[in-house]
Every structure is written in structure tokens, then in C-alpha cells.
């Protein structure tokens, strides 16, 4: 699976949009981009995933660049409860089910 690069930490003001970047320059054509987050002392939580089109759900939006070498997770109106470590993961399709977690980005939402 392709390796991802994320900033170790970011800050965001409550109520503002949080934009979390991820680089995955070695991604191949059949690999998906997944985002999970982990709130302190809890298990990771699935947020969203995409292949090449932008995706949106009730939690967030995922913007994938046209060349697919990078993506951005957007939390439109961050709250204090969004403070967590956010993981960007690239996972192959087909029968490869594994998720390999990196170090992620610690997002701190400030009042």
C-alpha cells in the first residue's frame, strides 16, 4: 500500500472549517484513500473514503486532487469534540483488506 504523509499537528478554531492535508504521491490506480480518526482513549472511527471523485457525508468532505497524489479532509464546522488524531490511509482494492495506520495528524480544536 502507498505511504502517506501528514503534518503531525494542526490547530483550528471552534466553528471554523478544519482542512487536513495528506500526501500520497505513490498511490496507484486501484488504491482508495481512507480517513479515520481516534479520539483519546477510544477506538479509531471511520470518517470517509474515496477513489478519485470528491466525497461528502454527514461527517466530512474528502477532496482528492486530479492526479490523486494528495487529498484534503474537510470538517466544515469544527467543534471541540472533533479534537482527535486523524489518519489518512491508502488501501488497495480487491481482496486486500488491511488498513495500515501511520502517525496521523493531531487536530486540536480551540474554543
Partner 1 sequence: DARVTQTPRHKVTEMGQEVTMRCQPILGHNTVFWYRQTMMQGLELLAYFRNRAPLDDSGMPKDRFSAEMPDATLATLKIQPSEPRDSAVYFCASGSRDRGSLNYGYTFGSGTRLTVV
Name the site residues for partner 1 (rule: CB under 8 A).
Answer: 32, 34, 36, 42-49, 87, 91, 93-94, 97-103
In whole angstroms, the minimum distance from the beta carbon of 34 to partner 1 comes to 7
CB nearer partner 1, residue 50 or residue 70: 50
CA distance 88 to 10: 14
CB nearer partner 1, residue 98 or residue 111: 98
CB nearer partner 1, residue 54 or residue 110: 54
CA distance 104 to 101: 8
In whole angstroms, the minimum distance from the beta carbon of 44 to partner 1 comes to 5
Closest CA to 103 of 82, 83, 89: 89
In whole angstroms, the minimum distance from the beta carbon of 30 to partner 1 comes to 10
Distance of CA 5 to the CA centre of its chain: 11
Q: Do the beta carbons of residue 35 and residue 89 sit within 8 Å? A: yes
CB nearer partner 1, residue 11 or residue 46: 46
Dihedral, 10, 66, 32, 83 alpha carbons, nearest 10: 20
Amino acid at each position: 500500500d502507498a505511504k502517506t504523509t501528514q503534518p503531525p499537528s494542526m490547530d483550528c478554531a471552534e466553528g471554523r472549517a478544519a482542512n487536513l492535508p495528506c500526501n500520497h504521491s505513490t498511490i496507484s490506480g486501484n488504491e482508495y484513500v481512507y480517513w479515520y480518526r481516534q479520539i483519546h482513549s477510544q477506538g479509531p472511527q471511520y470518517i470517509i473514503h474515496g477513489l478519485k471523485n470528491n466525497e461528502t457525508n454527514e461527517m466530512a468532505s474528502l477532496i482528492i486532487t486530479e492526479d490523486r497524489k494528495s487529498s484534503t479532509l474537510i470538517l466544515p464546522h469544527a467543534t471541540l469534540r472533533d479534537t482527535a488524531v486523524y489518519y489518512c490511509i491508502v488501501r488497495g482494492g480487491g481482496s486486500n483488506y488491511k488498513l495500515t495506520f501511520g502517525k496521523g495528524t493531531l487536530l486540536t480544536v480551540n474554543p
